Amino acid sequence: MTTQTSKTRSSFYRRLYVAWLIDSGNATTVPALMEATGMPRRTAQDTIAALADLDIVCEFEQQSGARNHAGDYRIRNWGAIDKQWISQHLGQLRDVLGYP
């Protein structure tokens, strides 16, 4: 019997995982998030925007002197989220989300 993950849980886990990827420096741009997770561009963009719903403060840092929105995302504040829990459960998050 396989357990189906609810859309609410998978959405929550996706946001946590994306925030962790950004904060750890593993994927700080939309193309890097797409490569790390296999998610489409729009999903990556929407997930970054939805971090605010969890009170995670994520800001875009424009590269000095760069054009065309060149820069990286940074997590400024985790709000009530325990980022240590995310680090300890990365395998579970990846499994539920089907990410490499």
Asked if residue 14 lies in contact with residue 47, where contact means CB atoms within 8 angstroms, the answer is: yes
With cut-offs at 50, 70 and 90, classify the pLDDT of residue 25. very high
Q: Which domains does the chain have, with CATH numbers?
A: 7-97 (1.10.10.10)
With cut-offs at 50, 70 and 90, classify the pLDDT of residue 1. very low
* Cα Rg of the chain (Å, integer): 14
How far is the C-alpha of 7 from the C-alpha of 75, rounded, in Å? 24
pLDDT of res. 3: 66
pLDDT tens, position by position, 32-83: 999 999 999 999 999 999 999 999 999 999 887 766 678 999 999 999 999 9
Please name the amino acid found at residue 13. Y
Please name the amino acid found at residue 72. D
pLDDT of res. 66: 64
